[in-house]
Structure 1
Amino acid sequence: MNLESSLIRYFREVYRLKSIRQASAALNVAPSAVSRQILRLEQMVGLPLFERLPRGVAPTEAAEVLARFTRNYLLDIEHVRGEIDSLRGLQRGHIRIMSTEGLVAYLLNRTIASFNRRFPGVTYELAIAGTDAVAHCLQDGSADIGLAFNAEIDVQLSFAAQIPDPLCAVVAPGHPLADAATLNLSEVIRYAVGVPEKSFGIRRLIDAALSAQKLHLSPVLVTTSIEALKGFARYSGGVTFLPSLPIRRELDRRVLVSKPIIEDTFQRSTHDVCILAGRRLPLAVEAFVEQLKIEASHPPNDGPDQLI
């Protein structure tokens, strides 16, 4: 099937947003132009691609097949570009990274800085999201590398590296829990608690542990921001759940303390460097993954974070 680039772009935006109107806004074209392209594509395929709903559209099975095809098609184009870049000695390249917030200061800042010194012609896109969104962006081909906390096992993903980092209770030094050696989950939830929203790997671990112990939590704060959780613990007298790496600076400065929780799944949690399973990575992406592995195996010194 000979697909024009505009057809692919229009289809993938409608598929991603499940709305012709939202896709037209994202593409900066009229909704009628998007509708015409989708109709044209349906005529080429010979099957309906979207079911029209009162609000938006729903992809059909044919659309799911076409989405996988176009994803692989675009990834193959990226691979070809990477091969061409390799002929230039990695003088060029583009790396799309989707990461949870906690690993930016600890790992990504110094990895990008060291890689940029070696290959100044390479460019980067870095977006921040929860673990679920990181996995989704790898699966749909909109990201090359994903960094997530406690990513779920998925046949579509492979782990290039994993960094152990137990999930702990985090409080300010003057909090009643600050002097405890270890804590039970039931003790922690007696206090005002802040948690990430449900797309975060941290929240998935918390909810699973609460369910297993038949405990109920009514959080005071639910947020998509790790910084907000740190602030809630530091300034509001609350408690939150975080691994150590995102709060390394606060722990070093003793403005927050981290306390182990007696919960096996919390002790086994990891930060994961993920890629799409079976994908032939462009040269720049492959080299960056190797740099991530090196940086992940060597904790930073106590100096200030490196920035580009």
Structure 2
Amino acid sequence: MNIESTLIRYFREVYRLRSIRQASSTLNVAPSAVSRQILRLEHMVGMPLFERLPRGVAPTEAAEVLARFSRNFLLDVERVRGEIDSLRGLNRGHIRIMSTEGLIAYLLNRSIAAFRRKYPGVTYELAMAGTGAVARCLSEGTADIGLVFQAEPDEQLSFAAQIRDPLCAVMAPGHPLAEAEMLELPEILRHAVGIPEKSFGIRRLIDAAVSAEKLRLSPMLVSNSIEALKGFARYGGGVTFLPSLPIRRELDRRVLVSIPIAEKTFQRTSHDICVLADRRLPLAVEKFVEQVRIEANQPPED
């Protein structure tokens, strides 16, 4: 059901890429054709939509209004498609998911497999991105669901679900701290630690706690990969900071140990399933969110 006009499609690409030339390449048409459509749309609107710059273009306030309209229009089309699919018993449907790395290998793979057994006609797009990119894709309407750890407040987004999962100290079973019942942050930082880079929600919490307690953070490893941090801990490199869901299999097999941290903000963290605020979700998306919540509470499988 593609009822988006050529005018709006060209506008969306120029708005997204901030460049007529790049938009023309993506659309596989001549730059002059894109320029004509934008000029035609500006004539219809009665206001300039883009400020022409030496390199690219910048959207005007009118373009921002039109971008919100076009996003909401396309989301309404998706909802209508979903409601029609629901009349067929969810024999069809499409779900676009953006997630931070930690939840893909365990939670999302299990959720998709379980959902597919119930509704084999539903298809999926699953992409990995940082917290900021997930929020941006939801706001632009290019994703239906975003999964992030400890999402930052954003008036454009709302929580379809929150899965509580405290941030803990993670290490190999033979580590000197592995038998502790609870750890204080200063005690952890006396050992070698591996932490995520600054774009991660986990790192944001660590930096805030270190600053509040006036501690010194000198990590042995900084990485943009959850898998790298898991390996750092598993093979004896030191301690890392992770919630439980990304390491459920490793915890079950006792190749990693997770120890609670006394810091209260670490104990209140959650994985947040985010959607665009005030959007009426297609039925397939609603039911998939329910499936994710179910899988989060299931025990690991071998």
* Residue number in structure 1 paired with 2:140: 140
Q: What is the rounded CA distance, in whole Å, between the counterparts of 1:169 and 1:145 in structure 2? A: 29
2:106 corresponds to 1:106:
yes
Task: Give the superposition deviation at 1:257.
Answer: 1.8
How far apart, CA to CA, are the structure 2 residues paired with 1:181 and 1:288?
36
Q: % of aligned pairs identical? A: 79
Specify every segment of 5 or more residues in structure 2 that has no aligned partner in the other structure, as ranges.
none
**Secondary structure class of the residue paired with 2:94:** strand
Provide structure 1 residue ranges, at least 5 long, that are not aligned to the other structure. none
Whether the 8 Å contact between 1:175 and 1:237 is mirrored in structure 2 is no
Give, in whole Å, the separation in 2 of the partners of 1:27 and 1:9: 9
What SS does the aligned partner of 2:175 have? coil
Shift of 1:102: 2.0
User: Shift of residue 79 of structure 1?
Assistant: 1.2
SS of 2:173 mapped into structure 1: coil
The residue that corresponds to 1:196 in the other structure is 196
Q: Is the 8 A contact 1:166 1:244 kept in 2?
A: yes
> Is 1:303 the equivalent of 2:301?
yes
Q: 1:154 corresponds to which letter in structure 2?
A: D
In 2, the alpha carbon distance for the partners of 1:239 and 1:33 equals 56
- How far residue 165 of structure 1 moved from its aligned partner, in angstroms, is 0.8
Deviation at 1:140, TM superposition (A): 1.4
CA distance in 2, matches of 1:54, 1:256: 54
Instruction: Give the CA RMSD over aligned residues.
Output: 2.5
Please list, as runs of the form range in 1=range in 2, the aligned pairs for 1:52-201 lying within 5 A after superposition.
52-201=52-201
Distance 1:294 1:181, change over 3 A: closer
User: How many Å separate the matches in 2 of 1:76 and 1:292?
Assistant: 24
Secondary structure in 2 matching 1:162:
strand
Per-residue deviation at 1:12?
2.4
Distance in 2 separating the partners of 1:192 and 1:31 = 54
Q: Please say if residues 175 and 236 of structure 2, whose CA atoms lie closer than 8 Å, have aligned partners that are also in contact.
A: no
In the TM superposition, what is the alpha-carbon distance from 1:31 to its structure 2 partner? 4.3
Q: Which amino acid aligns with 1:69?
A: F
Q: Partners of 1:20 and 1:193 in 2: how far apart?
A: 46
Tell me which residue corresponds to 2:280: 280
Q: Residue deviations 1:268-305, cap 9 Å, x none?
A: 00111222222121222222223333333x323x423x
Q: Find the aligned partners of 2:21 and 2:213 in 1 and give their Cα distance.
A: 45
**Equivalent residue for 1:254?**
254
Amino acid at match of 1:189: L
Distance 2:222 2:51 in 1: 34
TM-score where L is the length of structure 1: 0.86
- SS of residue paired to 1:281: coil
Measured after TM superposition, the shift of residue 149 of structure 1 is 0.9
Contact persistence 1:198–1:204 (CA under 8 A): yes
5 Å matches for 1:13-24? 13-24=13-24
Cα separation, 2, equivalents of 1:185 and 1:133: 30
1:210 maps to 210
Aligned-pair distance for 1:50?
Answer: 2.9
Structure 1 residues 173-193: Cα deviation after superposition (integer angstroms, max 9, x where no partner): 333433433322233334443
Could you say if the C-alpha distance between residues 4 and 195 of structure 1 is closer, same or farther in structure 2, counting changes exceeding 3 Å? Answer: same
Residue by residue over 1:9-55, the C-alpha shift from the partner in whole angstroms, topping out at 9 and shown as x without a partner, is: 33223333334444444444454444443333333323232334444
Tell me, yes or no, if structure 1 residue 245 matches structure 2 residue 250.
Answer: no
Q: Name the stretch that deviates more: 142-151 or 215-224.
A: 215-224
Of stretches 287-296 and 82-91 in structure 1, the one that deviates more from structure 2 is: 287-296
Quote the Cα distance in structure 2 between the aligned partners of 1:30 and 1:191: 59
**Structure 1 residues 53, 208: closer, same or farther in 2, change over 3 A?**
farther
Residue equivalent to 1:49: 49
